[in-house]
Structure 1
Amino acid sequence: MKKLTNRKKILEYIFEIISPGSKLREAVGRIQEAKLGALIVLGNPEELKDVMGGGFELNAEYSPQRVYELSKMDGAIILSEDIETIYGANIQLQPNYNIETDESGTRHQAAHRIAQQKGNLVITVSERRNKITVYLGKFRYLLNDIGGLFTKASQAITALEKYSVNIEKIRTNLSILEYDNTVMLFDVIECFRMYGLFFRMSEELKEYMSELGTEGRLIKIQYEEIMLNKNESFEALIRDYQKGCVKIEKIVNKVKNLTKEDLLDDEKILNLLGYDINVINLDEKIEPRGYGLLNNISKITKKDKETLIKEFSGVQSILAASVQEVTELKGISKFKALHISKALRRIKNKTALDRE
């Protein structure tokens, strides 16, 4: 059993094993429908023999029907980690009873202790409450019922769409300020915060989709549509206004782990961007490097963008550059320079319309 400590990784592993559409979930679903209880341990019997007693050895090929039939007996069912083999059934688990557990039922107490003592993935189906609980080490997770999960996922999709609309609005406003050369640090913080709230909701929704498994196909399609280009535009925002040389990926990962309270804290956002709030004012004017601007131009490469930014260093300089000046840059042909010039004019006109 691989040792996992990160909550996200643990849940990914759990949902891979038991989300709707998986081999094991079919068996567990049948057990739930019959209103039976079950205790299932994933692992090698050789490594579990010190906590096993009684029962009988099977070494049979896995099938949902077999697991369902075996669940009619009181003891635990031992399965291989790849859910290919049923090693044994009706096994009495004998964990260390000094291990603390706050579970009340005998089946759940044994499962919680075994998971902590041996580090195996253990699954219980409650006969009385008809709930599925998964244990892995000290980690415990009560699976949501499909109906409740759909409701949560739908609410999260709605919230994500609202954040997406707000990002577009605030991005448009920021573009206008960039063209006017009147961007203040406060404006950047507001835009950064909206992305942070968006990605926070995105992470929550991803968890729901993982748990839904194959049942979440339509929600996943909606999710992918909303997420289109969001990562790229956020990275462009960071590149435009970052102070320092911290890797973009590192900043993005930190943002996705911020709480809502963190995202409402201006100082935390400034620190991520490399600013010291003690030596800078929020109403201080700041000019972007031009990544966000150039991201709106199709048919130019990442290398082209870097060349333009290195040469002109700032939105105002890029906007003022002539076709001839752009053509003189290494790797940019006259045709591409004309394309960039026309695209910048279109963007400027669109921004003027948005202003109105």
Structure 2
Amino acid sequence: MAPRGRPRRRTRLGRTHLGSREACVSIGRLPDEIVQLAPGTPLRDGLDRIVSGHTGALVVLGTNPALAAISTGGFPLDIRFNATRLRELAKMDGAIVLSTDLTRIVAAAVHLSPAADVPTSETGTRHRTAERVAKQVGLPVVTVSASMDTISLFAGAGRQIVPRPDQLLDRAGQALAAIQGTRQRLNDSLDRLTTLEVHDSVTLRDLAHVAQRFEMVNRLADEATTYISAMGGDGRLAALQLHDLVDDLTPLSSLLQRDYVTEGAEAMPFATLARLDDHELFDIVLVARSLGFGGDLHLDSPIHPRGFRQLAAIPRLPPGVRGQLVAHFGDLGALYGASTGELLAVEGVTPEIAHTVRDGLTHIAERALTN
């Protein structure tokens, strides 16, 4: 019963990250269960009908033995779910229990008796029961408040008001705007890194700043994906915007990791930056250490790219040849200094490819030096 138009959960961009403190402010994550309540889904349709009818409700999203142990009374139903049935059953006292896949109504008018010692911060009877049930049995519980006309989700330890479609659109817009700004700063950092690479003057600090900006884009993209997923079919255009902003960053981060991988490691662990909290992400020393660089290097220590990213920017250069060139010359500086004859000594390099490499690197250097 997944919402129509729901974007797939993206793979992280390769673990990368950012550096501007103002951009790192979280817009506020939504729990994954809210995606099940996206506009356009049958469940959300039924809940909206309950809100419109000014009727309260308590709906358990799933079943398990722990729930059965605290359930008494009610009417076993096991009927196909639809919005009208949910609305009519909500007129009775007690909880409505749905199947785990949300396709069937298992029971209605069920009396739930969670343990009284389960802590709750709620005051209303329905909400106190919902919070205790969610904590005790580990299932999401949805409530509709008759007096406030709001839908709440209890999942795990907290309560989340289910946003209205206009609120989700606003949050998605904020996230996309934050991504756009951070992406521009990332592009600026990458341009600067290219210039430093041409001069063979990259330091660990420079790489760490680029990695920070990649990670911030990752975090903002995760939040935006949650909002867009929760919008159901209404999030299609926002999903296209998000795709346009970040889709090219996964291969780019992979090239950077191959360029600067530490000796003896298979890949630079950009993914480890995900373990840093937002405050730690601004500690450039922690970022550098998380990338696998040891304590013998300081932030101003020079580091040398292998050349994968710049070679990938050269059109019509076969991927296999890129690897041969890097393996033969070892780093980007040696590639820039290689003569045509030295390039031709590399396996797979023809006179045409050698000419392409020389022209391509010259063009990258000229563009970097004029920016």
Tell me the residue number matched to 1:152.
171
Determine the C-alpha separation between the residues in 1 that align with 2:91 and 2:283: 55
Q: Which amino acid aligns with 1:288?
A: P
In 2 relative to 1, CA 154–172 (structure 1 residues): closer, same or farther, beyond 3 Å?
A: same
Q: Secondary structure at the match of 2:118?
A: coil
**Structure 1 position 246, deviation (Å):** 5.2
- Normalized per residue, the structure richer in helix is 1
Aligned length: 344
Match of 2:280 among 262, 273, 281: 262
Determine the C-alpha separation between the residues in 2 that align with 1:102 and 1:218: 38
Determine the C-alpha separation between the residues in 2 that align with 1:237 and 1:332: 23
Contact 1:58 1:87 in 2 (8 A): yes
Q: Which amino acid aligns with 2:343?
A: V
In 2 relative to 1, CA 90–240 (structure 1 residues): closer, same or farther, beyond 3 Å?
A: same
Q: Secondary structure at the match of 2:114?
A: coil
1:243 partnered with 2:257: no
Contact 2:272 2:291 in 1 (8 A): no
**Structure 1 position 13, deviation (Å):** 4.7
Identity of aligned residues (%): 28
Query: Counterparts of 1:7-86 in structure 2 under 5 Å?
Result: 13-44=32-63, 48-86=67-105
Deviation string, structure 1 residues 257-282 (Cα, Å, up to 9, x no partner)? 433321211211111122234x3332
1:289 partnered with 2:306: yes
Contact 1:233 1:292 in 2 (8 A): yes
Q: Secondary structure at the match of 2:100?
A: coil
Determine the C-alpha separation between the residues in 1 that align with 2:142 and 2:330: 57
CA RMSD of aligned residues (A): 2.6
Match of 1:340 among 330, 353, 357: 357
Q: Which blocks of at least 5 consecutive residues in structure 1 are unaligned?
A: 1-7
Query: Counterparts of 1:208-219 in structure 2 under 5 Å?
Result: 208-219=227-238
1:304 partnered with 2:321: yes
**Structure 1 position 69, deviation (Å):** 1.4
- Per the normalisation by structure 2, the TM-score is 0.84
Query: Counterparts of 1:155-166 in structure 2 under 5 Å?
Result: 155-166=174-185
Q: Secondary structure at the match of 2:122?
A: coil
**Structure 1 position 77, deviation (Å):** 0.8
Tell me the residue number matched to 2:7.
none
Match of 1:126 among 132, 145, 151: 145
Contact 1:31 1:38 in 2 (8 A): yes
Q: Secondary structure at the match of 1:128?
A: coil
- Per the normalisation by structure 1, the TM-score is 0.87
In 2 relative to 1, CA 52–37 (structure 1 residues): closer, same or farther, beyond 3 Å?
A: same
Q: Secondary structure at the match of 2:294?
A: coil
Q: Secondary structure at the match of 1:72?
A: coil
Determine the C-alpha separation between the residues in 2 that align with 1:263 and 1:310: 33
In 2 relative to 1, CA 295–90 (structure 1 residues): closer, same or farther, beyond 3 Å?
A: same
1:92 partnered with 2:108: no
More moved, 226-235 vs 330-339: 330-339
Determine the C-alpha separation between the residues in 2 that align with 1:102 and 1:308: 63
Q: Which amino acid aligns with 1:146?
A: P
Q: Secondary structure at the match of 2:105?
A: strand
Contact 1:238 1:273 in 2 (8 A): no
**Structure 1 position 314, deviation (Å):** 1.1
Identify which of structures 1 and 2 has the higher relative contact order when contacts are C-alpha pairs closer than 8 Å and 6+ apart: 2
Determine the C-alpha separation between the residues in 2 that align with 1:89 and 1:247: 56
Q: Secondary structure at the match of 2:231?
A: helix
In 2 relative to 1, CA 101–185 (structure 1 residues): closer, same or farther, beyond 3 Å?
A: same
Contact 1:31 1:71 in 2 (8 A): yes
Q: Which amino acid aligns with 1:304?
A: V
In 2 relative to 1, CA 43–154 (structure 1 residues): closer, same or farther, beyond 3 Å?
A: closer
Tell me the residue number matched to 1:225.
244
More moved, 136-145 vs 342-351: 136-145
1:351 partnered with 2:368: yes
Q: Secondary structure at the match of 1:82?
A: coil
Contact 2:63 2:139 in 1 (8 A): no
Q: Secondary structure at the match of 1:183?
A: coil
**Structure 1 position 20, deviation (Å):** 2.1
Stretches of 4+ aligned residues off by more than 6 angstroms: none
Query: Counterparts of 1:186-201 in structure 2 under 5 Å?
Result: 186-201=205-220
Contact 2:34 2:162 in 1 (8 A): no
Q: Secondary structure at the match of 1:101?
A: coil
Deviation string, structure 1 residues 102-135 (Cα, Å, up to 9, x no partner)? 1211111111222222222221122222222223
Deviation string, structure 1 residues 30-63 (Cα, Å, up to 9, x no partner)? 2223232211113348764332222222222111
In 2 relative to 1, CA 104–268 (structure 1 residues): closer, same or farther, beyond 3 Å?
A: same
Determine the C-alpha separation between the residues in 2 that align with 1:84 and 1:345: 61
Match of 2:293 among 250, 254, 275: 275
